[in-house]
Amino acid sequence: MAQHKVNYTQNGGLPVALTSIDKIVNWGRSNSIWALTYGLACCGIEMMASGASRYDFDRFGTIFRASPRQADVMIVAGTLTKKHAEFIKRLYDQMTEPRWVISMGSCANTGGMFNTYATVQGVDRIIPVDLYLPGCAPRPETLQYGVMLLQKKIRANEASRAQKAKRLM
């Protein structure tokens, strides 16, 4: 005798849940956002703290991957220098579609306090950004909130449509 309770009046009496392909695909996508580790500066420390046991990204299904081929979201955490700009573009191009980018902290958003010759004034000059997190550095709670907003954004999209390739130009 099954111990769990089955509501036989729902779904035509079957212990199943009906849904659409979109929803089930998006459910899978939004709950297994693997992040490419991209700690460039002090924001990287907060990103690591978000992944560690106190804040625990694993419960969102977010696991840090050191390979762009296995990552869904790139969390740009820190100052992007002009020397490094070509590499962030190359790594972004190596990520498989669908892919997302979180720009974490003031430096990645706008260049921050580094109003100098050697700093890229915002990563959105190089790669398309989905989410900007303010702060210097943002707390791990902010990054968690950002990931949850990204999940919401993924769920809002149609999964079945051919993904429009994200390009700056």
Partner 1 sequence: MRAYKPKDDVQAKSYYTDRYYVSPQVPKQTPESDEVFNADLEAIKSKFDVSDAYIQVEQLVIFINASDIYGVLEFMRDELEYTQLSEMSAIDWLAKDNTFEIFYQMLSMNKRKRIRVKYFIDNGQAVDSVEKLFRSADWSEREMFDMFGIEANGHPFMKRILMPYDWHGYPLLKTYPLEGDEFAAWYEVDKIFGKEARDVIGPELRDTAKVDRYDSERFARLGHEVPKGTKITGNEPKSDQNYQEDGGVFLIKKFDKKDSVVIDDPQR
Size of the site for partner 1 (CB under 8 A): 34
Please identify, using beta-carbon distances, which residue of 32 and 70 lies nearer to partner 1: 32
How many helices and strands (H and E) does the chain possess?
5, 5
CA distance readout (Å), 165 to 58, 66, 122, 156? 28, 23, 21, 17
3 binds partner 1 per the rule CB under 8 A? no
148 binds partner 1 per the rule CB under 8 A? yes
Candidates 126, 133, 137, 143: give the one binding partner 1 (CB under 8 A): 126
32: Cα within 13 Å, side-chain hemisphere = 9
Burial-class residue 95 by CB neighbours within 10 Å (0-12, 13-18, 19+): buried
14 binds partner 1 per the rule CB under 8 A? no
DSSP category for residue 37 = P
Report the distance separating Cα 84 and Cα 39, nearest Å: 13
Please identify, using beta-carbon distances, which residue of 89 and 139 lies nearer to partner 1: 89
Candidates 69, 70, 94, 125: give the one binding partner 1 (CB under 8 A): 125
Please identify, using beta-carbon distances, which residue of 65 and 89 lies nearer to partner 1: 89
- Nearest alpha carbon to residue 43 among 115, 95, 91, 113: 113
110 binds partner 1 per the rule CB under 8 A? yes
23 binds partner 1 per the rule CB under 8 A? yes
Candidates 39, 41, 145, 157: give the one binding partner 1 (CB under 8 A): 145
The contact set with partner 1 (CB under 8 A) reads: 17, 19, 23-24, 27, 31, 82-83, 85-86, 89, 109-111, 113, 115-118, 120-122, 124-126, 132, 145, 148-149, 152, 155-156, 168-169
